[in-house]
């Protein structure tokens, strides 16, 4: 699988606090890659660095052949980012929000129309509520709208931070299925979650991250076999214990 994203020994500190301590991984074209770890592990910082919101202190991020640090504007043309707990302009209607974002993210009226049509089809379960003001939306409706916004331009890379956080079982499943279907269009997805069962279901490959360090990378199946675990939660606990144990020695 050709590489789309390459993270090379990337570091990030906030003042004296090291949030990411030199991580490396790759995401292939059409791959769903997940960062799993507890809160404060460095997942969001990593996603924000790739999405050009924050600058790296050291290392390199390559998106295709674009160095994200040197040419963030060019990188932004290839990616979209859905932050954790993201919001939308509450006084706009759902459809107007999609049109507004399409105007910002595309360069022609034709592209705009295509993007909006695709986004509307993605969040078709909203029904007529797409014409209602966003302030009337439930959390699940809002998340569906925002996911539609994130993929509307069919970017090379969709970065989704905790895409199902706060969603109920049915809405969560719907979103997970949708994410899984994105790779059919050739889109790569980089997502983060602390819901390991979700990651197990949706991801092609997984990186286990904690305290700014990546402990292991592999497919969910590979990791479960390697750590003789029933699920990714067990993998996470065993992996962290193993690495920390070897460090103490």
Partner 1 sequence: MKNKFFVIFKKELKDLITVQTLFPLVLIFVLFYFLGNMMPSLISDDTVTIQSEQTDQSGQTSEVEITVSKNSMIGFIDYDKSELSDYIYVNLPTRGITPIIPKSSNPEEAMTELETYNLNGEEIKIQSLIVIPEGLDAKLRAGEYVSIDAYSSIDSFGLTSMIAGASAQTAIGSINSVLTRELFDLYGGDPSIDINYINYPVYSNDYTYLNSKTEKVNATMVLSYVSSQTMFIPIIIMLILMMASQMIAGSIVNEKTDKTLETLMTAPMNRMSVLLAKVLAAAIYAIIYAVVFSISNNNFMGSMAGGDIYPEGFAATLETFGITFNITTLAIVGVQLFLSVLCGLAISLLIGMMIEDIKSLQAYLIPIIFAVMIPYFLSMFLDINTLPLIAKILVYAIPFTHTYTAFTNIFVQNYTLLIFGAIYQAIFVAILLTVAVRIFNSDKLFTLGQIMKKKPGKKNGSFSIGKWRIG
**Residue 44 Cβ vs partner 1, minimum distance, rounded to whole Å:** 10
SS (H, E, C) 141-187: HHHHHHHHHHHCCCCCEEEEECCCCCCCHHHHHHHHHHHHHHHHHCC
Q: Tell whether residue 169 is a contact of partner 1 (CB under 8 A).
A: no
Q: Tell whether residue 77 is a contact of partner 1 (CB under 8 A).
A: yes
Q: Which of 89, 117, 181, 197 binds partner 1 (CB under 8 A)?
A: 89
Q: Which two tokens stand for residue 106?
A: 């595309």
Binding mask 132-151 for partner 1 (x = CB under 8 A): -----------------x--
Smallest CA-to-CA distance from 114 within 128, 123, 124, 103 is with 103
Q: Tell whether residue 2 is a contact of partner 1 (CB under 8 A).
A: no
Instruction: Enter the DSSP assignment of 200.
Output: H
Q: Tell whether residue 156 is a contact of partner 1 (CB under 8 A).
A: no
- List CB contacts of 245: < 8 A, sequence separation 6 or more: none
Looking at residues 38 to 57 of the shown chain, list those that interact with partner 1 (rule: CB under 8 A): 48, 51-55
Q: Which of 3, 18, 24, 86 binds partner 1 (CB under 8 A)?
A: 86
Rounded Cα distance between 142 and 123, Å, is 10
Residues engaged in binding partner 1 (CB under 8 A): 14-17, 19, 48, 51-55, 73, 76-77, 79-83, 85-90, 101, 104-105, 149
């Amino acid at each position: 699988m050709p590489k789309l994203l390459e993270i090379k020994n990337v570091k990030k500190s906030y003042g004296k606090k090291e949030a990411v301590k030199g991580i490396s991984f790759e995401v292939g074209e059409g791959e769903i890659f997940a960062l799993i770890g507890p809160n404060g592990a460095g997942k969001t910082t990593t996603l924000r660095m790739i999405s050009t919101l924050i600058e790296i202190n050291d290392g390199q991020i390559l998106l295709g052949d674009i160095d994200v640090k040197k040419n963030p504007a060019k990188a932004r043309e290839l990616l979209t980012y859905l932050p954790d707990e993201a919001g939308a302009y509450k006084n706009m209607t759902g459809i107007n929000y999609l049109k507004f974002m399409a105007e910002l993210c595309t360069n022609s009226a034709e592209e705009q129309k295509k993007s909006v049509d695709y986004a509307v089809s993605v969040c078709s379960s909203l029904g007529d509520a797409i014409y209602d003001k966003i302030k009337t939306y439930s959390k699940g409706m809002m998340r569906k709208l925002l996911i539609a916004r994130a993929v509307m331009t069919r970017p090379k890379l969709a970065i989704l931070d905790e895409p199902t956080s706060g969603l109920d079982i049915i809405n969560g499943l719907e979103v997970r299925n949708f994410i899984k279907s994105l790779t059919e269009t050739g889109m790569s997805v980089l997502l983060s979650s602390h819901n390991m069962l979700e990651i197990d279901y949706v991801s092609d490959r997984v990186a286990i991250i904690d305290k700014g360090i990546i402990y292991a990378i592999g497919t969910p199946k590979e990791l479960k076999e390697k750590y003789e675990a029933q699920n990714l939660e067990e993998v996470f606990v065993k992996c962290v214990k193993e690495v920390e144990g070897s460090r103490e020695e």
